[in-house]
Amino acid sequence: MLHAHSGEGADGGQRCGPQFTRRALIGGVVGAAGLLTVGSSIRDGAMASEYPVGPPYPAFRADAPQVYTRAQWNARSPKRAARILDRPPDHIVVHHTASANTRDRSLVHAFGLSRQIQKWHMDGNGWNDTGQQLTISRGGIVMEGRNQSLAAIRAKNHAVGAHVLHHNQHTIGIESEGTYTSARVPRRLWDSLVEVCVWLCRAYNLEPAEAIVGHRDYNSTTCPGDVLYARLPELRRSVADRLNGSGGASGSAGGLVTSIFPSFDG
């Protein structure tokens, strides 16, 4: 979510801009680093996403997904520590980064993505840190975003981010790598998005039918793209099925535990 609009104000507000504006702005920042092929067209990105990389991966079944910490992806120190509220958020906001639909599913790429998002949010937008609390790469790799987010979730508290204008005090944001205006969502990313939402709904005692929303539900933006937004009802149902025990065995119930995440060597 390498956005071009308002930075952290009184409530740490943030707002998405039009797709072409956001892609143009990140082209010089991310593309120059060679980590994302931002210069490719949306059409090329959509075509690339049609070709699966690797075999189908089973969903991760456990009490919580593997989340790589800021230390693991080598985050910079924030300009200011996140504000921690001793209450849970009441909504989970799904975003897309509006960057290229890369075929690179590696851990190296995922970590580079997190660093580039932080660089743009801090240096380009002048914010205190990464805006969103969690980031998911197209390879399904889940990473901590804003500082103290992981500890806050585990404590059932809220680390206030900067991902939804005027609504950061009560929402937690998940960034999904890619542009989903017309491209399909990769299987690995989707499976991780389901797992992360299950985890958050459990941690915060949220009802998925009401809690899971898209960025456009709050602000005037196309985020998270028409394709991903159209799948939010499916996401809510999948999360509800898992919470109700009808979505397959979980690690806590003695079922098969299979990780979809790669090892550190990629």
- Average pLDDT on 23-38 reads 32
How would you class 51 by CB atoms within 10 Å of its CB: exposed for 0-12, middle for 13-18, buried for 19 or more? exposed
**Is the pLDDT higher at 252 or at 194?**
194
pTM for the model: 0.75
Higher pLDDT: 21 or 124? It is 124
User: In this predicted model, what pLDDT tens digit does every residue of 81-116 receive, in sequence order?
Assistant: 999 999 999 999 999 999 999 999 999 999 999 999
CATH of 19-53+64-245 among 3.40.80.10, 3.40.50.300, 1.25.40.10, 3.40.50.150:
3.40.80.10
Residue 198: φ, ψ to 5°:
-60, -50
In contact, 217 and 80? CB cutoff 8 Å:
no
Q: Is the pLDDT of residue 167 over 60?
A: yes
Nearest alpha-carbon partner for 109 in 30, 42, 226, 9: 30
Q: Which of 61-70, 128-137, 168-177 has the lowest mean pLDDT?
A: 61-70
pLDDT band, very low/low/confident/very high, at 53 (cuts 50, 70, 90): very low
Euclidean distance between CA atoms 45 and 26, whole angstroms: 15
- Report the mean per-residue pLDDT for the chain: 78
Q: Is the pLDDT of residue 22 over 90?
A: no
User: Residue 40's pLDDT is what?
Assistant: 32
Residue 185 has pLDDT above 50, yes or no: yes
Task: Check whether 46 has a pLDDT greater than 60.
Answer: no
Highest mean pLDDT: which of 39-43, 61-65, 197-201, 244-248?
Answer: 197-201
- C-alpha span between 228 and 95 (Å, rounded): 9
Q: What whole-number distance in Å separates Cα of residue 162 and Cα of residue 144?
A: 14
Domain boundaries, the chain: 19-53+64-245
Query: For 230-261, what is each residue's pLDDT tens digit?
Result: 999 999 999 999 999 865 433 332 232 223 33
Q: How confident is the model at residue 165 (pLDDT cuts 50, 70, 90)?
A: very high
| pLDDT of the residue at 263 | 31
Query: What would the DSSP string read from start to end of the chain?
Result: ----S--S-TT-------HHHHHHHHHHHTGGGTSS-TTS-HHHHHHHHTS--SS--PPP-SSS--EE-TTTTTPPPPSSPPPEESS--SEEEEEE--S-------HHHHHHHHHHHHHIIIIIS--SS-SSSEEE-TT--EEE-STTHHHHHHTT-EE--SSSTT-TTSEEEEEESS--SSSPPPHHHHHHHHHHHHHHHHHHT--HHHHEEEGGGTSSS-TT-HHHHHTHHHHHHHHHHHHTT-S---GGGT------S--TT-
Of 20-29, 56-65, 91-100, 171-180, least confident by mean pLDDT is 20-29
Q: What pLDDT, on a 0 to 100 scale, did the predictor assign at position 64?
A: 81
